[in-house]
């Protein structure tokens, strides 16, 4: 991370920016506005990554912000631009994501600071070991005159490639439900128990899994996944008495996701009843969808069209720092096509032409925002 900060600093210093690493380990650099007390727009992404990662998830968004400012060739805007490179977005080390971005919205609290990694080192200790002072975390919070947050990121999925589009606006970050289902039947001999006298927990679960897939296929934008299945007693010649499964359901609309989960719970109990089984479910996570700022989404679409590409907007199935920032300031994202939809893998890549389009789109966007006084005067000294 230190090397990464040093690299970014070298580029930013050349642009005459004021650089700091805040107490949560986020890289922050401010490109000044025309006037001293102008409000600021944040552009960035995260700098951490996953084990055996690719080279573009997160870091491309931070580097794109620098490239955008380079392309201004010293020209000042009516608002300052703060480049942010977030720490700890992925949640690998401490098992909790968005630690860096939570500092900006004032949510890097005692509970988070007390989290420990696999070796027992707390977030607080890791911050100190890095040479930073956890007491200064409040200084990492957003300035009152922050206009918003923009994030370029690879899509990490196959949708834009399939549509043959280099760029898309992100209109929402999908909400997510995670549940655990347990079907209970009766374990019995696989040879001596006739088919009509069974209470087979695996067969019941299998029928329900088919329904999960069917429902998700019939609702536009809905994704539903049974990712794990575990059967007991788990022998070739024994009818299963218990099956435990996990369910992951995501959609950009709160209403559709909640209704889908209700449908799936109802269907599980109908299948169980018909088969002489019982079923119980437990909610592990229910995270609301986060809408991106409508003004930004519209402006991003206009900017995409100016690059010669068709306008497009989509829902992000993955979580991003933008959904944390959206709690406090208008936020939006721009996705870049991901070849093969491959991410979190060394084969992750981007096309050079798509990055050029993204920079072009970003420049149009900055100009559009600069030409929109109601945008940059709105929160100034509010
Ligand atoms: Zn990412």
Cβ contact 90:50 at 8 Å: yes
Ligand 1 geometric centre to CA of 370 (Å)? 28
Ligand 1 geometric centre to CA of 48 (Å)? 8
pLDDT at 50 over 70: yes
Ligand 1 geometric centre to CA of 251 (Å)? 19
pTM for this entry: 0.89
Q: What is the pLDDT of residues 308-331, one digit of tens each?
A: 999 999 999 999 999 999 999 999
Q: Output the CA–CA distances (angstroms, integers) from residue 23 to 80, 102, 113, 130, 137, in the order listed.
A: 22, 12, 12, 10, 5
Ligand 1 geometric centre to CA of 350 (Å)? 14
Paired tokens of 66: 């620098």
Q: What is the pLDDT of residues 111-153, one digit of tens each?
A: 999 999 999 999 999 999 999 999 999 999 999 899 999 999 9
Ligand 1 geometric centre to CA of 58 (Å)? 4
Q: How far apart are CA 380 and CA 241, in angstroms?
A: 64
A 10 A CB-CB count for 91 gives: 15
Q: How far apart are CA 292 and CA 322, in angstroms?
A: 8
Q: How far is CA 176 from the centre of its chain?
A: 11
Handedness of CA 107, 51, 331, 250 (dihedral sign): negative
pLDDT at 295: 95
Paired tokens of 76: 């000042």
pLDDT at 244 over 60: yes
pLDDT at 381: 40
Ligand 1 geometric centre to CA of 47 (Å)? 9
Ligand 1 geometric centre to CA of 49 (Å)? 7
Q: How far apart are CA 171 and CA 178, in angstroms?
A: 22
Ligand 1 geometric centre to CA of 321 (Å)? 8
Ligand 1 geometric centre to CA of 45 (Å)? 7
Ligand 1 geometric centre to CA of 154 (Å)? 8
């Amino acid at each position: 991370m230190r090397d990464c900060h040093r690299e970014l600093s070298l580029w930013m210093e050349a642009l005459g920016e004021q650089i700091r690493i805040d107490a949560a380990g986020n890289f922050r650099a401010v490109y000044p506005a025309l006037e001293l007390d102008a409000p600021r727009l944040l552009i960035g992404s995260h700098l951490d990554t996953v084990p055996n990662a690719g080279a573009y998830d997160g870091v491309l968004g931070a580097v794109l912000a620098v490239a955008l400012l380079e392309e201004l060739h010293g020209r000042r805007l009516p608002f300052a631009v703060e480049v942010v490179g977030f720490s700890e977005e992925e949640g690998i080390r401490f098992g909790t994501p968005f630690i860096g971005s939570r500092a900006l919205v004032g949510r890097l609290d005692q509970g988070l600071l007390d989290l420990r990694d696999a070796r027992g080192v707390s977030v607080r200790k890791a911050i100190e070991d890095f040479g930073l002072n956890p007491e200064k975390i409040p200084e990492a919070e957003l300035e009152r005159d922050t206009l918003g947050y923009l994030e370029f990121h690879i899509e990490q999925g196959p949708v834009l490639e399939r549509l043959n589009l280099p760029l898309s606006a992100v209109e929402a970050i999908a909400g997510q439900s995670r549940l655990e289902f347990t079907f209970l039947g009766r374990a019995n001999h696989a040879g001596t128990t006739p088919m009509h006298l069974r209470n087979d927990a695996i067969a019941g679960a299998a029928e329900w899994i088919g329904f999960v897939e069917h429902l998700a296929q019939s609702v536009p934008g809905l994704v539903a996944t049974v990712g794990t299945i575990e059967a007991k007693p788990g022998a070739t010649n024994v009818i299963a008495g218990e099956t435990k499964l996990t369910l992951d359901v995501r959609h950009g609309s709160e209403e559709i996701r909640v209704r889908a989960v209700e449908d799936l719970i109802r269907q599980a109990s109908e299948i169980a009843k018909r088969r002489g089984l019982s079923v119980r479910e437990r909610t592990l996570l229910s995270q609301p969808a986060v809408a991106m700022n409508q003004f930004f989404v519209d402006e991003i679409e206009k900017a995409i069209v100016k690059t010669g590409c068709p306008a497009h907007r989509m829902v992000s199935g993955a979580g991003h720092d933008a959904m944390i920032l959206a709690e406090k300031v208008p936020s939006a994202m721009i996705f870049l096509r991901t070849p093969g939809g491959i991410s979190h893998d060394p084969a992750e890549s981007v096309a050079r032409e798509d990055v050029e389009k993204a920079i072009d789109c970003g420049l149009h966007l900055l100009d559009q925002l600069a030409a929109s006084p109601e945008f940059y005067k709105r929160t100034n000294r509010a």
